[in-house]
Copies of this chain bind each other. A is one copy, B any other.
Amino acid sequence: MSAGTAGAAATVLVTGAAGLIGRKLTARLLADGGLVDAGSAELPVRRLVLADVVAPEVPADAGSVEIASVTADLAEPGVAERLVAERPAVVFHLAAVVSGGAEADFELGYRVNLDGTRALLEAIRAVPDWTPRVVFSSSIAVFGAAPPDRLPNPVPDDLAHTPMTSYGVQKSIGELLLADYTRRGFLDGVGIRLPTICIRPGAPNAAASGFFSSILREPLSGREAVLPTSTDVRHWFASPRSAVGFLLHAATLDGARLGATRTLSMPGLSATVGEEIEALRRVAGDDAVALIRHQPDPEIARIVESWAPALDASRAEALGFVADASFDDIVRVHVEDELGGRIG
């Protein structure tokens, strides 16, 4: 942490801390010794509360930062109240059931994505004289069109939300609640509509968007991958490293610059599946590309067609959010951060 930062060292709460973005954010906060974002104020972190329904791993190299790992369900009575009792200066609310999971289990999706979010906001409202920055991870999935209709390319920031998944509905409701609780002065919310994260490391999750990552991730490790759509499907992407950058910037941004509209479409990289594959070819060669097997899945193709090909993120860009520069960079970030620089 550089000298001359303003304010005392703070407590930071991360929900969904055991998930991909939660773990990356935790690692970054510990590596930087606090909330460090180019162009915004820095905030030293004294204590980091990591919460999830599965036990968040406590990093070994936490340095002087105190870590609390809490295994609990936000939607259970009393849990949110306990988590906010320490009055964290910043709350990163990342906990969510992903799109495929919320579609497969209607009740679970509403419980976690709606009731859990509302319980957190309500717990904050109940604490007097405290308006923490709440960073809410929303999603590109708030936008949708029923095929054969397509969303405009790019999707304007002010287009009505017509999500085609329960997950998208729940994220859109989260945006509305965040704005209302902010307007009423209960908290200071900033929502960010994350692009599809690519390349997701590790095992596939229940997201229908999983193949966008696996067609790169698996060949980069010498394994076969299945492509369920045509190569001309266009989508909107950010690397995990960029997503963490968005969160840090959202945490430290001056809320007054946002006005009444508290959620922003994040910048990203618009690419077709074919362009993804060509980036893989440039970084890892023809042998890697040869590991992709085309096996059409009409259900996944239908879901993907309802999504945004690209977002107009000019508002977020004007506020200093920065996307990956190229798809080759997205592939290289994965090779550096996940594979120790080694391909195959």
Near B by CB (< 8 A), chain A positions 129-185 give 144-146, 149, 157-164, 166, 169, 172-173, 176-177, 179-180, 183-184
A47 to chain B, nearest CB (A): 30
Contact, CB under 8 Å: B106 / A164: no
Interface string of A179-197 (1 = CB under 8 A from B): 1100110000000000000
Near B by CB (< 8 A), chain A positions 273-297 give none
User: Within 8 Å of chain B (Cβ to Cβ): is A261?
Assistant: yes
* Complexed CA–CA distance, A340 and B162 (Å): 45
User: Within 8 Å of chain B (Cβ to Cβ): is A259?
Assistant: yes
Contact, CB under 8 Å: A169 / B177: yes
A328 to chain B, nearest CB (A): 33
Residues A180 and B166 in contact in the complex (CB < 8 Å), given A173-B173, A259-B146: yes
* Complexed CA–CA distance, A169 and B164 (Å): 20
User: Within 8 Å of chain B (Cβ to Cβ): is A127?
Assistant: no
User: Within 8 Å of chain B (Cβ to Cβ): is A31?
Assistant: no
Contact, CB under 8 Å: B176 / A180: no
* Complexed CA–CA distance, A106 and B172 (Å): 20
User: Within 8 Å of chain B (Cβ to Cβ): is A260?
Assistant: yes
Closest 3 CB pairs of A and B: A146-B260, A169-B180, A158-B160
